[in-house]
Amino acid sequence: MRRVDVIVAIIGQACLIMSFMHGGSLLAMAEDGPRLTAEQAIAVARRNAKPGSSFTVLREIVANADMRRIGDQALEQAQAKKIELYENGFLVNILRSGGFLLAETNPRTNNLIALHLVSLEPGGAPKDFWLECPGVLKLADADELVKDTTEFVEQLYSTPSTEELSLESRFYGGSFPERDQSLFAIPNSLRKLRANPHEVQEAAALIGGYIFWEFRYSLSMPAFAVSPVSALSAAEDKREALKAEFLRSNRMDPNFHLDLDNVQSEKQLQERIELLTRLDKFLEDALKSEGDPTVVRANLSLATMPLGVEVDLSRDEGHYGSSTPSMFVFLWDRLATGRFAVKTITVG
């Protein structure tokens, strides 16, 4: 099948920020591993900081023996398969040794200057992964975006493919977006068809669940920590193989196009909903039967971490943005209540 296209939305240069900014630890501490202190982390971050900046420890990220084992396994796989480390391995370093998330701020304005993630490299040397924050972004807004992104991505990954319609209320306006470039978007062809609105939303949810399955499956691979892109590529191949198997078992062309753009009538829409429901259940059963839950939990901690947040209100359609290691780019808008709601989800 040709892949259902999801057009990339470019957020621009964003500041590094990690999830779980407030609350408990990401991982439990490994007793036998080297430990980085907050003082050491701040001292390392100051080398890349602006003079006079203040530092706040937003998070101590710690690692237990299971996470260290998974990180070591991921590095072994990367070496054996010659997989290039994502951003010099900072994700896998989190699994292996934990670290500190630090906010560098202007003490007069409390605006973010940069976010620093300080962790230990395999040799034990501290490493500062940092990114400046362009524009004016208050720490409180960044905190809210981080929290909302973390919660929403965790919900995305924990929702079965057949139940994605339950996510509809998390989107701006209480319905899936009307832009074709977004995940879970309602195609223009279905809007023009003027079919039953509930069936249209259900179809968008089912095809979105089908596309998103590869992201969920990728978390079952230790290699996700060294390269989300490589893990996603392997997961897509797995999904396509399972899809072909499902279609053959139902005496259908294994290259049948599932795209909703080729639905021409309400009857065809109902048939596509029935087919996608059975296919999503088939994929869900396969997902449940494979994978180590410990690996999935560890990688989920990485997948839900917002790597960047930004705000651009200079245009008519201004937006807030966030992105994650699982390749998602989110655009958010404020509701009348002041809270954020998702407008679009794209994949980079």
In 65-135, which ranges are E strands?
99-105, 112-120, 126-132
Range list of H helices, 106-196: 139-158, 188-193
Q: Measure the CA dihedral 315/318/320/324, to 10°.
A: -70
Looking at residue 250, what is its pLDDT? Answer: 94
Say how far apart CA 13 and CA 16 lie, in whole Å: 10
Domain ranges of the chain: 184-297
* pLDDT digit string, tens, across residues 240-282: 999 999 999 999 998 898 988 888 898 999 999 999 999 999 9
Looking at residue 136, what is its pLDDT? Answer: 81
Helix (H) or strand (E) holding 120: strand 112-120
Comparing 30 with 170, which gets the higher pLDDT? Answer: 170
Indicate if the alpha-carbon torsion angle 153, 155, 158, 159 is positive or negative.
negative
Both tokens assigned to 264: 């021409």
Residue 129: strand, helix, or coil: strand
Check if the beta carbon of residue 309 is closer than 8 Å to that of residue 11: no
Looking at residue 316, what is its pLDDT? Answer: 62
pLDDT exceeds cutoff 80 at 17: no
Looking at residue 10, what is its pLDDT? Answer: 32
The model's pTM: 0.81
Say how far apart CA 88 and CA 228 lie, in whole Å: 13
Looking at residue 282, what is its pLDDT? Answer: 97
Both tokens assigned to 311: 């705000």
Instruction: Provide the 10 A C-beta neighbour count for residue 316.
Output: 5
Helix (H) or strand (E) holding 42: helix 38-46
Looking at residue 315, what is its pLDDT? Answer: 66
The answer for 174, left when phi > 0, alpha when psi is -120 to 50, beta otherwise, is left
Say how far apart CA 322 and CA 309 lie, in whole Å: 4
